[in-house]
Amino acid sequence: MKKKNNRITINDVARKAGVSSAAAGRALGNYGYVSEEIKEKIMRAAADLGYVANQVARAMITGKSQTIGVVGADISNPFFAEALRGISDVARRHEFGVLITSSDEEVPREQDAVRILLEKQVDGLIVSPADINNCRHLQQAISQGIPVALLDRQLSTLAADAVLIDNVHASREATRYLLSCGHHRIAIITELSSDYDARLALEPEHFSRIDATRLNSSGSRLLGYLLAHHEMGIPVERALIRRTGKYCAQRAYEETLSVLDEVRPGAIFAVDNVMTQGAYRAVREREIAIPDGLSFFAFDELDWLTLTTPRISTVAQPIYKMGVHVAELLFRRISQPDLPVSWQTWQVEMKLRESVAKAGEVAAKQDI
């Protein structure tokens, strides 16, 4: 019978093996010198007693918890879940634990999450910041010596590694493709919760005054959309820009119904997986044929985009790989804190499928 807790400690093992606790520590923790003979005795004693190492005590003294923290928008979002899988695979390889939290894209929740993770003494953080104009808490983590790696968002003001895609470019390419198919009235369904992003929706004609480094993903994607129009000399109708204000399929559904009913665009561009789900549902509800009655372009690859009829064109990000690499950047920095900051920009892939038709061809079909 032990004092309070019946848990077996290193002292119990040492006593049973007839050695000092230091020797037991060395054998069990695999550090320092221990003779094979004694080590074996200790290991046997540990196995007999059912000893389980106490990482908390180890963390206390080494100052390393062998744990990283992840702050994502929403774990149940397939995008994040896939990235998390990559992160956790790498963490397992390094024998690190992964503590997860959700911010739901809200800055106060993100701050809370970061604080709790820091109190738990994580050795590093992977964050998809809710608002890149609002991240003193991340700065603080870094100045406390806890490295931060950013997923899917970049922060020029922060000494943090990042893994991302070029959102402006990706969105511009997709929009150019739609425009070049003859669709001059493309509705864009996007989130734009941050104030700075929202400005772009409110004054699209002033996009040149916007500081692209202050835009979140949805802002960047809207900028790409605007740039593509500008470059091709096609004016943008304000009513085509639909802002949900939050990451919510239901809101995307509502905005899409409204844009279909009020503006009746020739194409819809849904700029992330959540928007895609809501927007596509709305199109189905209105029983508009794709691509003959409406072209549809998505963002992010989802399992089901090739299971619909027709299959849906999209901009695919290598999400799992991005998760793997952001974790690798973080572990690299944990072991080498003084490396220069590294931003990895990954290529997206345009998956051109049958959900987009040339505007002319629809007319041709109808003529027959």
Partner DNA sequence: TTGAAAGCGCTAACAT
Partner DNA sequence: ATGTTAGCGCTTTCAA
User: Which of 304, 339, 345, 347 contacts its own copies by CB under 8 A?
Assistant: 304
The reply to whether 75 sits near its own copies by the rule CB under 8 A is yes
The reply to whether 97 sits near its own copies by the rule CB under 8 A is yes
DSSP-based three-state secondary structure for 100: strand
The reply to whether 60 sits near its own copies by the rule CB under 8 A is yes
Rank residues 29 and 108 by Cβ distance to DNA and give the closer one.
29
In 230-254, which positions are buried (b, 16+ CB within 10 angstroms) versus exposed (e)? beeeeebeeebbbbbeebbbebbbe
Q: Which tokens in the block code for residue 230? A: 């500008």
Rank residues 144 and 208 by Cβ distance to its own copies and give the closer one.
144
Q: How near is the Cβ of 218 to its own copies at its closest, in Å?
A: 20
The reply to whether 350 sits near its own copies by the rule CB under 8 A is no
- Whose tokens are 């509800």? That residue is 285
Rank residues 236 and 260 by Cβ distance to its own copies and give the closer one.
260
Distances (CA, A) of 234 to 122, 178, 184: 50, 12, 7
Peptide bond into 310 cis (omega under 30): yes
- Residue 159: alpha-carbon gap to chain centroid: 19
Q: How near is the Cβ of 13 to DNA at its closest, in Å?
A: 7
In 113-122, which positions are buried (b, 16+ CB within 10 angstroms) versus exposed (e)? bbeebbeebb
Residue 315 has a CB neighbour count (10 Å cut-off) of 26
Strands 349-351 and 313-316 turn out to be antiparallel
Max CA-CA distance within the chain? 94
The reply to whether 88 sits near its own copies by the rule CB under 8 A is yes
Q: How near is the Cβ of 42 to DNA at its closest, in Å?
A: 9
Site string for its own copies, 211-250 (x = CB under 8 A): --------------------------------------x-
Strands 313-316 and 343-346 turn out to be unpaired
Site string for DNA, 12-51 (x = CB under 7 A): -------xxxxx-xx-xx-xxxxx-xxx------------
Among residues 165, 170, 152, the alpha carbon closest in space to that of 222 is found at 170
* 121 secondary structure, DSSP code: T
Site of interaction with its own copies (CB under 8 A): 4-7, 50, 52-57, 59-60, 63, 65, 67, 74-78, 81-82, 84-85, 88-89, 92, 95, 97-102, 115-121, 140, 144-145, 249, 277, 280-281, 284, 302-304, 306-309, 320
Site of interaction with DNA (CB under 7 A): 3, 5, 7, 9-11, 19-23, 25-26, 28-29, 31-35, 37-39, 53-54, 57-58, 60-62
